[in-house]
Amino acid sequence: MCLAIPGKILSLEEQGTRMGRVEFGGIVKQVCLDLVPQAAPGDYVMVHVGFAISKVDPEEAEKTYALLRSMGALAGELFAEPPGAE
């Protein structure tokens, strides 16, 4: 229930509420964007039961991921990955 998935805003339309077309890995859905007034087409938002509840912060995401990737790369050297591992 508390799941939210990241999707990319393709376009916006005002119809009383702020709605937008949001793409999730190829699937496009109508999403209410009233709660993310700062989000614009091209931005990623976290969507829960048809409502965007946050705009994904690309800098924070990159920072976290760069740190994690450096750990993973290090681990790759330390523990050789078996071929075909997920």
Which residues contribute to the site for another protein (CB under 8 A)? 1-6, 8, 16-17, 24-25, 30, 32, 34-37, 44, 46, 48-51, 53-54, 56-58, 60-61, 63-65, 68-69, 71-76, 78-79, 81, 85-86
Smallest gap from Cβ 41 to another protein, in A, equals 15
Q: Which is nearer to another protein, 41 or 76 (CB)?
A: 76
Region label for 42, one of left (φ > 0), alpha (ψ between -120 and 50) or beta (otherwise): left
Query: CA dihedral defined by 54, 37, 66, 7, rounded to 10 degrees?
Result: 60
Smallest gap from Cβ 4 to another protein, in A, equals 5
Smallest gap from Cβ 50 to another protein, in A, equals 3
Task: Indicate the SS3 state at residue 36.
Answer: coil
The DSSP letter of residue 16 is S
